[in-house]
Amino acid sequence: MKIYTRTGDAGQTGVIGGRVDKDDARVEAYGTVDELNCYLGQAMSFMDPDKYSDLLADMLQVQHELFDCGSDLALLKQELRPYKVKAEMVDALEVWIDKYDAETPDITRFILPGGSTVSSTLHICRTVCRRAERRVVTLARTQEINPEVRRYLNRLSDLFFTIARTANHREGVADVEYVRSAEVFRRKS
């Protein structure tokens, strides 16, 4: 099998149910999800397997789910096949957020991205995830999408924030608070 097909040389690409321009909002959305998946793979490559075995397993699942998001975003019409991203996947992200948040110290102010290599890369994932979410919002204005993908990406960016803090905590690196911030978060109860 050859990797190249030459079918995109004129500026179009295949999606599920047809062909669209390579700069179509749909391609921008699933392309940004793919970019996010690449950054997540990079973050995982920095994780010590002993220290991060739980996170590595969870993030591998997220990588598969990001492929599901991309697949749903590449679908022109739901009638072509059922959506893959379900509400239960969002619920699972919330469970992980709560689990990993319980591991970290309280914060009351915004924090600056950074600290350990793992944390810094997870903050990149968070911001790329937010961009992917914005691309999906743009797409949804004019085309049919699975609304669970938008919800999933919204919650996933919260997970990336949480696990970036978890990574710093596991590495013994303190988060740096944004000093010009008022208190914006409540303490854990």
pLDDT in tens, 17-71: 888 878 899 999 999 999 999 999 999 999 999 999 999 999 999 999 999 999 9
Q: What is the pLDDT of residue 94?
A: 98
Domain ranges of the chain: 12-177
For the chain, what percent of residues have pLDDT higher than 90?
A: 77
- For the stretch 138-182, pLDDT in tens is 999 999 999 999 999 999 999 999 999 999 999 999 999 898 888
Q: What is the mean pLDDT of residues 102-130?
A: 95
What is the β-pairing status of strands 18-21 and 111-112?
unpaired
SS3 145: coil
Q: What is the CA radius of gyration of the chain?
A: 18
Right CATH for 12-177 from 3.10.110.10, 1.20.1200.10, 1.10.3720.10, 1.10.533.10: 1.20.1200.10
Judged by phi (left if over 0) then psi (alpha if -120 to 50, else beta), residue 57 lies in: alpha
Q: How far apart are CA 60 and CA 43, in angstroms?
A: 11
pTM of the model: 0.94
Q: What is the pLDDT of residue 185?
A: 79
Q: What is the mean pLDDT of residues 100-128?
A: 95
- Identify residue 8 by its one-letter amino acid code: G
SS3 128: helix
